[in-house]
């Protein structure tokens, strides 16, 4: 009996270390059955819902059934008094994304989380996001973190002052606005001639 216990202990020791003697990560393998679902929450309580869900996953031992909890946000930069302030703004207020291997127990744990009002889906059945929708939302979140969106609206024929680059301190007239690329074509008078200059939103300031 003792020999069997020794053998089991030895087998267990082999499993906990790799072939080169380096300890293998104890992190549980990702469940391939997990899909992303959207849950409704009371608007303004999205972060509380995220915290509550993550606590319940630990409390109920559901790490294999519930993965990431994501609040889709974007970084938005505002220019106030000549200074830039960056803040996080939610893409979809009142919604939280949860990665789950859905079953009745998981459904009940999530649905009974405080300030959760339900799942997005048809009828009583929650509908998982398609891979395309997941890529679109998750990529959008990552992209906005790298390049914050400027919360400034520019209009054609508006006077702006260039704040960065070789034409800094020059004033010009907005000729074109590209909201998607966040760029402007500004007509600047250089050596007595009106010259078009393409600039990013964060390179100009409105003239009061």
| Mean pLDDT of all residues belonging to the chain | 78
Residue 81 lies in a domain: yes
Q: Are residues 111 and 40 in the same domain?
A: yes
Given a cut of 80, whether residue 177 has pLDDT beyond it is: yes
Residue 49 lies in a domain: yes
Q: Are residues 83 and 167 in the same domain?
A: no
Write the CA distances from 151 to 29, 77, 201, integer angstroms.
41, 6, 9
Helices (H), the chain: 2-15, 46-60, 104-111, 131-146
Q: Are residues 141 and 197 in the same domain?
A: no
Residue 46 lies in a domain: yes
Q: Are residues 77 and 95 in the same domain?
A: yes
Domain extent at residue 134: 30-150
- Check which CATH number belongs to the domain holding 173 and give it: 2.30.30.30
Residue 86 lies in a domain: yes
Write the CA distances from 196 to 63, 83, 136, 172, 173, integer angstroms.
56, 26, 34, 9, 9
Given a cut of 60, whether residue 167 has pLDDT beyond it is: yes
d(CA 151, CA 143): 16
Of residues 55 and 81, more confidently modeled: 55
Residue 84 φ/ψ, nearest 5 degrees:
-95, 135
How buried is residue 141: exposed, middle or buried, by Cβ count under 10 Å (0-12/13-18/19+)? middle
Q: Are residues 88 and 46 in the same domain?
A: yes
Q: Are residues 80 and 137 in the same domain?
A: yes
Q: Are residues 44 and 145 in the same domain?
A: yes
Given a cut of 90, whether residue 189 has pLDDT beyond it is: no
d(CA 50, CA 56): 10
Please state the pTM of the whole predicted model: 0.54
Encode pLDDT of 60-72 as tens digits: 999 999 999 988 8
Band of the pLDDT at 132, cuts 50, 70, 90?
A: confident
Q: Are residues 107 and 133 in the same domain?
A: yes
Encode pLDDT of 8-49 as tens digits: 444 444 444 444 444 433 444 467 889 999 899 998 899 999
Q: How many helices (H) and strands (E) does the chain have?
A: 4, 14
Band of the pLDDT at 150, cuts 50, 70, 90?
A: low
High-pLDDT (> 70) share of the chain, %: 74
Q: Are residues 176 and 145 in the same domain?
A: no
Of residues 153 and 40, more confidently modeled: 40
Query: Which residues, in sequence order, are bridge partners of residue 62?
Result: none
- Check which CATH number belongs to the domain holding 41 and give it: 3.30.70.940
In this predicted structure, what is the pLDDT of residue 147? 62
High-pLDDT (> 90) share of the chain, %: 31
Residue 40 lies in a domain: yes
**Helix or strand run (H / E) with residue 77:** strand 73-80
């Amino acid at each position: 009996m003792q020999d069997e216990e020794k053998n089991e202990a030895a087998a267990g020791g082999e499993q906990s270390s790799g072939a080169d003697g380096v300890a293998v990560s104890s992190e549980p393998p990702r469940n391939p059955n997990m899909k992303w679902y959207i849950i409704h929450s009371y608007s303004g309580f999205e972060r509380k819902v995220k915290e509550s869900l993550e606590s319940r996953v630990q409390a109920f031992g559901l790490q294999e059934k519930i993965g990431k909890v994501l609040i889709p946000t974007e970084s938005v930069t505002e220019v106030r008094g000549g200074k830039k302030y960056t803040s996080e703004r939610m893409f979809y207020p009142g919604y939280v994304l949860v990665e789950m291997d859905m079953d009745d127990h998981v459904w009940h744990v999530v649905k009974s989380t405080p300030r959760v009002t339900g799942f997005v889906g048809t009828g009583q059945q929650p509908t998982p996001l398609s891979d395309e929708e997941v890529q679109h939302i998750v990529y959008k979140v990552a992209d906005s973190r790298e390049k914050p969106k400027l919360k400034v609206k520019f209009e054609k024929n508006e006077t702006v002052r260039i704040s960065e680059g070789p034409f800094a301190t020059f004033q010009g007239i907005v000729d074109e606005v590209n909201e998607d690329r966040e760029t402007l074509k500004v007509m600047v008078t250089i050596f007595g001639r009106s010259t078009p200059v393409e600039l990013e939103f964060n390179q100009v300031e409105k003239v009061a």
